[in-house]
Structure 1
Amino acid sequence: MWAMLEHNCPEQLVMKINALYLTAFTAYKIDHLFNETGITLNI
């Protein structure tokens, strides 16, 4: 696994992880908000 990440400096890796976490957390919170308020999306 680390062999794939050698070209990335740790700061870039941390930023990517934080971005993924924020994206997933925001999506979760929005989904939870929709469930709490009874909003349904017809997708």
Structure 2
Amino acid sequence: MTTFLGLVAYALLGWTWLDAVAGLFIALFALNEGRRAWSGELTCDV
């Protein structure tokens, strides 16, 4: 969703820096998910 919003805002407003900001949010999300997976928080306890 962040990628799509970043691309739409870039196309409509012409803000060239917005693509980098969207990429930063994606990287932070990926790091958070990796941390959660590493700690075992995302495991299925069935």
TM-score by length of 2: 0.56
Unmatched 5+ residue regions in structure 1?
A: none
Q: Which ranges of 4 or more aligned residues in structure 1 deviate by more than 3 Å?
A: none
Q: Which has the larger radius of gyration?
A: 1
Structure with bigger RCO (C-alpha 8 Å, 6+ apart): 2
Identical counterparts, % of pairs = 6
**Normalising by structure 1, what TM-score?**
0.59
RMSD (Å) for aligned C-alpha atoms = 1.9
Number of aligned pairs?
A: 32
Residue ranges of structure 2 left out of the alignment (5+ in a row):
1-10
When residues 6 and 30 of structure 1 are mapped into structure 2, their CA distance, relative to the original with a 3 A threshold, is closer
